Structure 1
Amino acid sequence: MKDELTLVIDIGKSHAKLLMFNDAGEVVERHGRDNRSVLSALGYPALDVQGLEDWMSHTLSASANTVRCSRVMTSTHGAALVGLDETGLAWAPLDYEFDALAQHPVWAREFEDAADAFAQTLSPDLPAGLNAASQLFYVQRAHPQAWQRTRHLLPYPQYWAWRLCGERASEVSSLGCHTHLWLPQAGEFSQLASRQGWTALFAPVRSAWEVLGTVRPQVSQTWGLPPHCVVHIGVHDSNACLARYLESLNRDATTSRALTVVSSGTWTVLMAPGAPTQGLQAERDMLANVDVLGRATPTARFMGGREFECLLAGADRDAGSLGDLQFLISGAIMALPSFAAHGGPFRGREGSIRCGSKAFADAGSAGLAAGQRAALAALYCAQTTAWLVERLWSGSALPRTVLVEGPLARNALYLGALQGLMPAARCLVSLDPVEGTARGAWMLSRWGKSTAADVMPVEALSVAGLGEYHAAWQRALD
């Protein structure tokens, strides 16, 4: 029907959003809230699923548009699994920033020994709980009673689908998100998952766009959704962003050019469909995600949102100017990684601000003005992006295309610097006012109805010495 809406639940690590789309893809209503972990009854930091559900229920029940929502699609961050008993949660889902196994060195070694080789999973060993299998390994050993109650395991998007409709499913984009649970090239669970007895706890794998069921009567009553509202399987958020281009970009864009989609947020995730998996370097946090069609997708990432905020040191993210950028380049003032504790190609390195022969721990102590700090943050993220694009497509003679989504798509200095750092590439920016994860989720709810992507070429910034500056930055990494 013409007045029907699609509800997209978009749960990122730092922020959660509710968006209602009409059939033309326009957002008619949106809500958001910050997303933080809570202390679980078992004593570890957990995802605030109850707080999120209370917020969603309260927000939607107060909206006159909720009754128009005929379908629901959920996208969430990765590295999150939920255990269910006969009635609900068997244990609170772990926050992936909690380093559970670090408190138990023997278990950590056992997990490392039990995991499949990188050549099979294309999932590197990551810190804290970013390999979601490590969360299961921890719960089994630290909380055996809670584990004994566990009857089902669900990826995070499918947990929310279950809460809405009462049906269970698994989906490959979440199972294949550096979990150590999935073999991307074989399309099946890992030996680790089988040996630990986890495989049997996962529901059958289904496609993200499929309908799982209709909302439960209690949800219809308390949330205000109509009884006929259908619930889709759901998707990993970065893969939702990629999915819109898998369907909407011209076919030859992914075959005659080396396409990299940059999905930005708390994490800046670079996905390169069609790139070779042989060159992936586990130690550089390079991996293969699995797209919604089940294909291995070479991926690289860094915690760009966190690093950007760190380098801002309180400045407005849009405070930088072309003059500030030129000041940094002319003065050889550079940010050397890393400024986030988790993941990325330079994990284990302590970030610093290099000003000639002097080094400072952060941009604030380096004495940089607000505009200069904002320019430095944008330039650093552009340099890291360019560095990763070249490694994802190392050895390929195909011309590069880089398409930027999310908050970085609204940062002119980042975009112009990125194009300047990659003069032979074609850099594109999404003009969609809706973030790529939410837009991709909406498109998955109507999979097969092609919608053209609204993108625009990026113009390189005119700054002297950018190439030499970047070469010096790369030498400093060695």
Structure 2
Amino acid sequence: MGKTKVTAIFDIGKTNKKFFLFDENLKEVYRVYHRLEYETDEDGDPCEPLETLTSWVKETLEHALSLPEFLIQKLNFSAYGASLVHLDESGKTVAPLYNYLKEFPEDLLAEFYRKYGGKQAFCTATSSPSLGMLNSGLQLYWLKYRKPEIFGKIRHSLHLPQYFSYLFTGKAISDYTSIGCHTALWDFSKNDYHHWLKEEEILKVLPEVVKTTHTYSIEMANHPVTVGVGVHDSSAALIPYLKSNDEPFILISTGTWAISINPFNSSALTLEELKQDCLHFIGMNGQAIKISRLFIGEEHKVQIEWLYAHFGLEKGYYKELSFDKNLYQKAKSHPGKRFQFAYLKPELFDISQASQTQLETFGDFEEAYYCFLHELTDLQVASLNLVLKGSDVKKLFIDGGFNANEIFVEMLRDKLPEIKIETTDFALGSAQGAAMLVDEKGIEF
């Protein structure tokens, strides 16, 4: 019996690092899940251990290439955005993989906005709220003025998905999906890099932009392998849905963030929408796509840990729960709010929150968890409505981690009765989307 021909995909999230082999029908035939502990950067702030991550990627692929039952013919990468890897002339990293939650110096940010037309005008041009390090292009400005000894060594700054491709192809490139991920790099009104990059002489470290479908042919384990250029994970998650649906839809891609993506809405952003974390991504063909973001994965993680500690339960308990209408009605009927969010800001949507979390008012974990998800899904609906309005969309897909949370999904169905909500077979949407990008038949939308 011959070897199974497969496509290898790395799907690198903030929390989970995943590797898959898909057969020619995009059916998963092999997987590896991995987590890494953060290290600290030179300022003492937590960051991804880039060297360890790089070694894991190389070793995982090397092992997969040695598996006798599989023949890897294609390779691609999906990874989170807002993160840059800085390389010197020899291709070695010269800085940590700075965490996009790292504080950006307020005085430096104010200086930047003064130089480039003011905060409001700049955010409107780049179709992104002011997000500090999450506007990853500004990391280069920060390095130039606060860490010139590092900046002076940089030959190429690669977005994270393209860094993984570079490890195997040696090609320093960029793609639209990474550039368009709230980076403060792209002027959407001019459909080009923003002029601040040229004025600061930073454009020179940003490599050539290629199509997201671009591939390279290299040799691995004595046979040719087609290698993709990598793709931003939220954009990758969209691809299987675009291929399989003829009618308009919205996708909520969930994980650390819930990204509500409406590929059929490219309307201009209002200042109010920018404040509510609504922005534009760039699709793989260079088109603007309206999206909204909510930090629900990290919020859920923190809150659930507090609930486990309070009720003396083991991690993972909530995953055993199924939807209970009575518990939901009880949560809905309570007149006030009982949770204070760690990260989310309900006030941006004119929604209130408790001044402090009131765990003592709950009889058990279930009651508290239903209340938390009720208040969380109110925010999710408000965020979703930012990309829903003005478009004729009646279908919503949920993929990623919250796909499997029946309580979360049923609460959304109750709160959005006019929308057909589906949890889908694309639970591995980002990985499968990346696989489709290197499919020999190509992608045309």
Q: TM-score range by the shorter chain?
A: 0.7 to 0.9
Aligned partner of 1:40 in structure 2 is 41
Query: Cα offset for 1:55?
Result: 2.0
Q: Does 1:310 align with 2:312?
A: no
Deviation at 1:20, TM superposition (A): 1.0
Amino acid at match of 2:126: T
Provide the secondary structure at the position in 1 that maps to 2:77. Answer: strand
- Which residue matches 2:369? 374
- Identity percentage of aligned residues: 21
What's the RMSD between the two structures over aligned residues?
A: 2.8
| TM-score under structure 2 length normalisation | 0.86
Structure 2 counterpart of 1:94: 98
Write the mapping of 1:7-22 to structure 2, written as runs, cut at 5 A.
7-22=8-23
**5 Å matches for 1:428-467?**
428-432=422-426, 434-446=427-439, 448=441
Residue type at the aligned position of 2:367: Q
**SS in structure 2 at match of 1:317:** helix
Determine the structure 2 residue equivalent to 1:270. 260
- Separation in structure 2 between the aligned mates of residue 179 and residue 382 of structure 1, nearest angstrom: 27
- The change in CA–CA distance for 1:368 and 1:295 in structure 2 (over 3 A counts) is farther
Question: In the alignment, what sits opposite 2:285?
Answer: 293
Equivalent residues in 2 for 1:1-80 (5 A)? 3-40=4-41, 44-63=45-64, 64-65=66-67, 68-80=71-83
Match runs of 1:257-406 below 5 Å: 259-280=249-270, 281-312=273-304, 313-314=307-308, 316-318=317-319, 319=321, 321-322=323-324, 323-332=326-335, 334=337, 338-340=341-343, 346=347, 352-353=353-354, 361-362=356-357, 364-396=359-391, 398-406=392-400
Q: Distance in 2 between matches of 1:140 and 1:350?
A: 40
1:90 Cα offset (Å): 2.4
In the alignment, which residue of structure 2 is the partner of 1:459?
none
Over residues 87-143 of structure 1, what are the superposed CA-to-partner deviations in whole Å (9 max), with x where a residue is unaligned? Answer: 2112222111111x33xx43221123345622211011014x111022111111222
Residue 196 of structure 1 pairs with residue 200 of structure 2: yes
Gaps of 5+ in 2: none
The one-letter amino acid of 2:436's match is M
- 1:4-31 deviations in whole A, cap 9, x for unaligned? 2111111111111111111111111111
Cα distance in 1 for residues equivalent to 2:179 and 2:172: 14
Change (3 A) 1:227 1:150: farther
Specify the SS of the correspondent of 2:94.
strand
**What amino acid sits opposite 2:302 in the alignment?**
C
Q: Closer, same or farther in 2 for the Cα pair 1:309/1:19, shift >3 Å?
A: same
Letter in 1 for 2:370: A
Instruction: Find the aligned partners of 1:170 and 1:380 in 2 and give their Cα distance.
Output: 39
Q: Read off the aligned partner of 1:275 and give its amino acid letter.
A: N
Higher mean displacement: 180-189 or 74-83: 180-189
Q: 1:30 to 1:237 in 2, by over 3 A?
A: same
- Given residue 292 of structure 2, which amino acid in structure 1 is its aligned partner? A
| Aligned-partner SS, 2:359 | coil
Cα separation, 1, equivalents of 2:352 and 2:359: 13
Is it true that 1:228 corresponds to 2:224 in the alignment?
yes
- Cα deviation, residue 443, structure 1: 1.7
Cα distance change on mapping 1:119 and 1:352 into 2, 3 Å? closer
Q: Is the 8 A contact 1:7 1:19 kept in 2?
A: yes
The one-letter code of the counterpart of 1:307 is: E
- The aligned counterpart of 2:240 is 244
Q: Matched residues in 2 for 1:52 and 1:423: separation?
A: 43
Normalising by structure 1, we get a TM-score of 0.81
Instruction: Name the SS for the 2:128 alignment partner.
Output: coil
Counterpart of 1:119 in structure 2: which amino acid? T
**SS of equivalent to 2:183:** coil
Q: Matched residue of 2:18: which SS?
A: strand
**Residue of 182, 186, 191 corresponding to 1:182:** 186
The offset of 1:287, in angstroms, is: 0.4
Q: Which residue of 2 aligns with 1:418?
A: 412
Write the letter of the residue equivalent to 2:384: V
Distance in 2, matches of 1:450 and 1:154, equals: 24
Whichever residue aligns with residue 297 of structure 1, its letter is: I
Cα distance, 1:349 vs structure 2:
10
Cα separation, 2, equivalents of 1:123 and 1:260: 20
1:475 alignment partner in structure 2: none
- 1:65 CA displacement: 2.9
Aligned length: 423
My pick for the range that moved more, 18-27 or 271-280, is 271-280
The answer to whether the Cα contact below 8 Å between 2:128 and 2:274 also exists between their aligned partners in 1 is yes
Whichever residue aligns with residue 191 of structure 1, its letter is H
Task: Please list every run of at least 4 consecutive aligned residues from structure 1 whose deviation after the TM superposition is greater than 6 angstroms.
Answer: 347-351
Whether the aligned pair in 2 keeps the contact of 1:243 and 1:440 (CA below 8 Å) is yes
Residue 129 of structure 2 is matched in structure 1 by 124
Name the CA distance, whole Å, in 1 between partners of 2:188 and 2:218. Answer: 30
Contact 2:12 2:80 in 1 (8 A): yes
AA at the equivalent of 1:65: L
Deviation of the 1:426 alpha carbon: 1.7
Three-state SS of the structure 1 residue aligned to 2:154 is coil
Asked whether the 8 Å contact 1:337–1:351 carries over to 2, the reply is: no
Structure 1 gap segments, 5+ residues each: 354-358, 452-478
Tell me, yes or no, if the aligned pair for 1:37 and 1:95 is still in contact at 8 Å: no
CA change 1:366–1:114 in 2 (3 A) is farther
Please say which of residues 118-127 and 281-290 is displaced more in the overlay.
118-127
- How far, CA to CA, are the matches of 1:209 and 1:335 in structure 2? 47
User: Take 1:279 and 1:443, find their aligned partners in 2: how far apart are those partners?
Assistant: 30
Q: Which amino acid aligns with 1:324?
A: L
Q: Structure 1's 39 and 418: CA in aligned 2 closer, same or farther, altered over 3 A?
A: same
CA shift digits 1:437-466 (9 cap, x unpaired)? 112112222175679xxxxxxxxxxxxxxx
